[in-house]
Structure 1
Amino acid sequence: MTSAPWLRRPQPRPNAAVRLVCLPHAGGSPGLYRTWVTLLPPEVELLLVCPPGREDRLDDPLPADLPALVGGLGAALSPLLDRPWAVFGHSMGATVGHELALQLVRQGHRPPVHLFVSAREAPQFHHGGTTHLLDDDALCAELVRLGGTDAALMAMPELRRLVLPAVRGDYRLIETYPARPDGLLPCPVTALVGADDTELTAEEADGWRQWTSGLFQRLTFPGGHFYLSDRPQEVVSAVRRRIAEYTTASL
C-alpha cells in the first residue's frame, strides 16, 4: 500500500486504531509535526501531508487551485481509510483538511472521527488577500511577522530560492479560494487558537460551529499564530484526549 509522494509515515503503526492526518500551513512542510510521533500513543498512526514544492517534491508542479490540491491528496489518502481517521490542519492546512474531509465523505468514504482546525477562520469569514503578489522581500517579511520562520534564514538567498515558490504558490491557492464548501460534516470539530494570534478573532474561530452536525469546541493556548510549535505537548495532549473520546466509545 503506497501513498507517495503526498504522505509521510514517520513511524508506521499497522495495528493502530486511528490514523491522524496532519496538514501544514502555507509554504509549510511535514516537519511542523514530526515531533508528534513521540507524543502520540501506539494506537494513533501519524500521516504527514507533503504538498508539492517542498522537501523531495521541489520539482513537482504546484496545483492550479485548491480543489486540485485537495483532489490529489484525496486520491493518495483514500487507500488508507480502512480504519478510523482524524484530520489536523494548521492555518491554510485547516481549510484544506476541511475540504478534504467533505470530498472524501461525498465519495462514500467514512467521515473522519474528528476535524481539528488550527489558527484558521471559518469559511464564512474567509479573508482572501494579495500576499502572493508581494515581492520576495515583502513576502519574507510577512513570514517572519507571523512567526514560525527565522529571519536569519529568510536572509539567505539560496534558501529563498528553495522555499519561496511553494510559499507564494500556497498563498495564491488560499487567497483565491472561493470558500464555498458544500455540506456539513457529521464529526466533532475542534478549533484551536493562540491567545495572541492577531490573524484570527474568537468569532472567526467559533464560526466553524456552523460546519458540523456534531459537537464543536474552541481551545485557546498561550502564544501567537504558531502557538503549536511552542507548546507541542499541550496541543498533542488535547488532540489525544479528543481522539480517545471516540476510540474508547467505539473500538
Structure 2
Amino acid sequence: MSSAATGQNAWIRRFHPAPEARTRLICLPHAGGSANYYFPISAELFPSVDVLAVQYPGRGDRIRESSVDNMETLADCIVDALEPWRDLPLALFGHSMGATLAFEVARRLEGDAVPLLALFASGRRAPSRHRTGTVHLYSDDELMAELKKLNGTDSQLLEDSSVLRLFLPAIRSDYKAIETYVHQSGSVIKCPIYAFFGDRDTGATLEEVRAWRTHTVSRFELTEFPGGHFYLNEQAPAVIEIVSKYLAKL
C-alpha cells in the first residue's frame, strides 16, 4: 500500500481512513497546535468524510525538524503535500492561524485549477483585517503565560514547564509566521466561506470575522458560538454538525 493511501506523509495525518467517503476535509491547526487537535473531529466525521490533518514541522513526531516561520512557505509545502489527495472533492478547515493558512492554501489550489467545496474559517479575523502582533518576540516566560491565557494547548503540557519549553521554538515560529503575514489586497477565492467564532474572542471581533465575506466571490455564512478564542474545545459537536451538513449539501 502506498504512503499516500495510508496517510504516512510528513505533512499529513489520516487518523480514520474512509475509503468510501465522497469528500475530503483538510484540517489546519492553530499556532502551536498539532494534527492531533483534529483527532476527535476526524472520528466524528468518519466514515462519511475522509479527514486529513496537517502536521507542521517542529512538533509531535516532527519535533526534530526545523519549524517554518513564513505563511507563504507553509502554504506552498502543504499544497505540495496534498498532491496525492486531489482525487476527491476537497474542503478546508482551519482554526486561528490555520484559518488564514487555509485561505492561502485555497488560493493556491484554485490557482492550480483544483475546485474546492468550501473553506471553514474558525476563530480568526479575515486575512485583510491585520493587527500588529509581537508575541513571537516575547521571552519564554511571557510566551508560556500567553499560551496559558489562551488555554489552547494541552493542559498537561501547560502544567509541565520543562516539557513546554521544548515546544516553544515551534510555537514562536508559528506566531512569527502569522504575525508577519501580509495579505495580498483584493485576493479572493471561488469557493464558499463559512466562518465560526467565539463571542468572547478578544482576537477576532464580529466585524473582523464578518470581513471574511470580502474574500470569496461565492456564498458566505457566519456562525457565532459562546466561548473565547478556543470556543472549539467546548463547541466541537455543534461545529461538526454544521460542517457535516454543509459538506453533505455541497
| CA displacement at 1:181 relative to structure 2 | 6.0
Query: Which residue in the other structure is 1:191 paired with?
Result: 195
Q: Look up the equivalent residue of 2:181 and give its one-letter code.
A: Y
Deviates more, 1:186-195 or 1:30-39: 30-39
Q: Is 1:43 paired with 2:60? A: no
The 5-angstrom pairing of residues 142-161 of structure 1 reads 142-149=146-153, 153-161=157-165
Match of 1:240 in 2: 244
Matched, 1:14 2:19: yes
Q: Does structure 2 retain, via aligned residues, the 8 Å contact 1:111–1:185? A: no
Q: Which residue of 2 aligns with 1:72?
A: 77
Matches within 5 A, 1:71-90: 71-90=76-95
Displacement of 1:243: 0.8
2: CA distance, partners of 1:199 / 1:169: 19
3-state SS of 1:22 partner: strand
CA–CA separation in structure 1 for the residues paired with 2:79 and 2:236: 27
Aligned partners of 2:198 and 2:231 also within 8 Å: yes
Aligned pair count?
Answer: 245
Deviation, structure 1 residue 200? 1.0
Q: 2:178 corresponds to which letter in structure 1? A: I
Is the alpha carbon distance of 1:182 and 1:153 closer, same or farther for their aligned partners in structure 2, counting shifts above 3 Å? same
Partner of 2:96: 91
> Secondary structure at 1:103's aligned position in 2?
helix
**Structure 1: gaps spanning 5 or more residues:** 247-251
8 A contact 1:52–1:62 mirrored in 2 = yes
Q: For residue 180 of structure 2, what is the aligned residue in structure 1? A: 176
Q: Compute the displacement of 1:140 (Å).
A: 0.8
Which residue of the other structure, out of 14, 33, 39, is the alignment partner of 2:38? 33
Question: Is 70-79 or 179-188 further displaced after alignment?
Answer: 179-188
What TM-score results when the alignment is normalised by the length of structure 1? 0.93
Percent identity at matched positions?
Answer: 42
Q: What SS does the aligned partner of 1:231 have? A: helix
- TM-score (norm: length of structure 2): 0.93
Verify: 1:121 aligned to 2:146, yes or no: no
SS in structure 1 of the partner of residue 33 of structure 2: coil
> What's the counterpart of residue 61 of structure 2?
56
Unaligned runs of 5+ residues in structure 2 are none
Separation of aligned partners in 1, 2:207 and 2:26: 26
SS in 2 for 1:143: helix
SS at match of 1:153: helix
Match of 2:106 among 98, 101, 105: 101
2:224 corresponds to which residue? 220
Q: Which 4+ residue blocks in structure 1 deviate beyond 4 angstroms?
A: none
Q: Which whole-Å CA distance do the structure 1 matches of 2:112 and 2:91 have between them?
A: 17
The whole-number CA distance in structure 2 between the counterparts of 1:180 and 1:168 is: 24
Secondary structure at the residue paired with 1:113?
strand
| Coordinate RMSD, CA, aligned | 1.6
Quote how far apart the aligned CAs of 1:156 are: 2.3
Change (3 A) 1:72 1:152: closer
Structure 2 matches for 1:124-135, cutoff 5 A? 124-135=128-139
Match of 1:249 in 2: none
Q: Which amino acid aligns with 2:43?
A: T
CA contact (8 A) 2:67 2:170 kept: yes
